[in-house]
Structure 1
């Protein structure tokens, strides 16, 4: 993955550069101490991953990243923990609190690698999606999903050992899931095909639950499940 580091502290900049140099799969293509030069470079040179300090002299890293048109994956670095929530609201891969050691850096990079792999292999039968849960990106394998239920502005993803509640719309999660493996049966339910025990035109039986099939989705549900029988 091609990386850029932005930090106004020379020692911090050098530290991240050293960590990148010892990490397999990372290539440092540029480093900057101000956001103006960094912005000009990123406009012309797309990269995969950005290590970005939050506290910068002219413009903080959060503001800088939010205005980028083509946003790479980003890992924020800062000495101030109060920016963590805002960082994750910008879909940050991770948030490194200074001073951080190589083990913590490597953990953040592995998240970026996983997320990159997910985007490249969405249709993989052993695929997964990433959702923001407890202020971090959490990997959920398709095969572990029992059911997805809409709850106002949240979705409830049924996985073991307990369901997780994620601030996301059903439309957004539908776009992340392979159509061949998941069925939108109702405005409030998405069902994994391989967990279905039985079905008719009005209901789907999955585990110990009976999921209604709304009229809006009856045709596409029937067509997809019929294909599985052919």
Structure 2
């Protein structure tokens, strides 16, 4: 299930960069490029898209003015050389705000939010459809990981180790990034260094979880939230394990 994208920017170089980035991600599909807000407004009336990459400073109609003019705007990632419009952009419920020049890893982080939103919005996929997934950068390639295959994530200073049912992936990223990206319905932060997939939890005590046969610690500051999200606080208390 590809995410259909539209680029809106009056700078040809910016359009070329984003177009090249989109072509590197199989699950993104470029539906068009517009050089002005007016052109984008016209196109969106008859050609709906899932994700808008939108510059702010454009002639005739600015990017923010375009968003306000749309009754049902697509999910939007702002691409701008100016930081001062960030607050106004987020007030319009944009997914992310990218400052030019845009690095590929920063582009991928923003796209990851679009994937996460789309999958959260569509929790029940028809038979035969692609399962929700994300792309993870390992070395010089992007690895496609299906969310249901992920068992847990472990912070390793400047890296995150992602354990799946079939492999281990190590990516240069922070655990906080994945804490924001991954849907809370499926994943749970249990420690400053660990996140787990709820569906992969085998058992737990006050201090540990068993996930796919491995013991992982529950951080003292996370214990109450873990019990609450797993809806087991009363059960643990009744067995005398809680305090």
TM-score range for the pair, normalised by the shorter chain length: 0.5 to 0.7
Q: Of 194, 197, 200, which aligns to 2:234?
A: 197
**Alpha-carbon distance, 1:194 to partner:** 2.1
Shift, 1:115, TM fit: 1.0
Residue correspondences, number: 162
SS at match of 1:38: helix
SS at match of 1:82: coil
Which residue is equivalent to 1:98?
100
Could you give the per-residue CA deviations for residues 164-216 of structure 1, whole angstroms, max 9, x where no partner exists? 9xxxxxxxxxxxxxxxxxxxxxxxxxx75723416xxxxxxxx77xxxxxxxx
Deviations 1:75-127 (A, max 9, x none): 00000011111111111111110011111111111111111111001799x8x
Give the gaps of 5 or more residues in structure 1.
127-136, 147-159, 165-190, 199-206, 209-230
Pick aligned residue for 2:17 from 12, 15, 18: 15
Correspondence for 1:51: 53
Q: Which runs of 5+ in 2 are unaligned?
A: 126-131, 133-147, 149-179, 191-220, 236-241
Alpha-carbon distance change, 107 to 195 in structure 1, aligned in 2, over 3 angstroms? same
TM normalised by structure 2 equals 0.55
Alignment-derived partner of residue 90 in structure 2: 88
Structure 2 partner of 1:78: 80
RMSD of equivalent CA atoms? 4.0
| TM-score between both structures, scaled by the size of structure 1 | 0.58
Partner of 1:186: none
Aligned counterpart, 2:184: 141
Distance 1:25 1:61, change over 3 A: same
